[in-house]
Structure 1
């Protein structure tokens, strides 16, 4: 887990101003990446301070807004402590899922295959999705030989990519072209994981 370059602040989105009020957002940042999460609260523009990131004054409305912010801060700290305690892979996507209580994306390889298929169902052709399922079957069998039922996405490194290629070369009826197609789909899957911020870098960048 890496949260040392994680930061956050609260702000109001002036582009969505209605009746002199703007929605309150949490902006979470990890390195150069960032995500914005609505706190489902509107703030009168004349109450907001851009320096303290809080509502000004002691009116009931200002107190309500600031209480919402303090509750968000408590929740953020609890989330960070939980990631630290469990040593889970930390990403903005996972942080947002925890903060909003949304169902987290599976962080395992087999879960990633399933999540990819579900998201690409209306994008990729049926035959292409079927090919991904075949690659998943080979990868599942490969893990079984390693006495693993599954692995975390972050566990797939360059060495394991080489081992999976070696495993495919031993499969009867699978020619070199078919082997490369499976490796290509694995590469695309890891690109997908990188886009989802499940991994900080791509294990196959040096793979040829």
Structure 2
């Protein structure tokens, strides 16, 4: 199944937004530089043991780079052209859609989200930070909440915060924090730092604040 299959045509996957494309170019440049040294080593080493070592190193770097590139290209959410991540200064309503593990795209609700381990399947459910912690859907079959998944959730919740700011919806982050203090350990929630929240969107959030 293709990554964008089932996504309405007017939506743009995160990887195709301007900021994400900047990061894509940065990833490409980083691994291009990383491949330069082993490539030179292969040319100088030829068929020797040293050449074989650099060839192996080159393949390892290439595999790591391709994996990181693929992960970045398949961040599982999309925005419409009016969303601030598209930087088009549209006055129309911003929207976000989320891709679930089975390939279905679903419109994001009004709440922020976090990941909770599924009771039956290996992986994580996407759970809304509402009063009932409503399960949005089965999100990923990855067994560990690794740095990539944390990054995905940070980006997703940033996109929702920008959507609400654009649509002039009050941010319920403080309310969610208050609920967190009453959970008595029900959920182990890691709230992102303020600097982390701004990391992927750069000056967009600042621009929105300036319009308030």
TM-score (normalised: structure 2): 0.27
User: Which one has a bigger Cα radius of gyration?
Assistant: 1
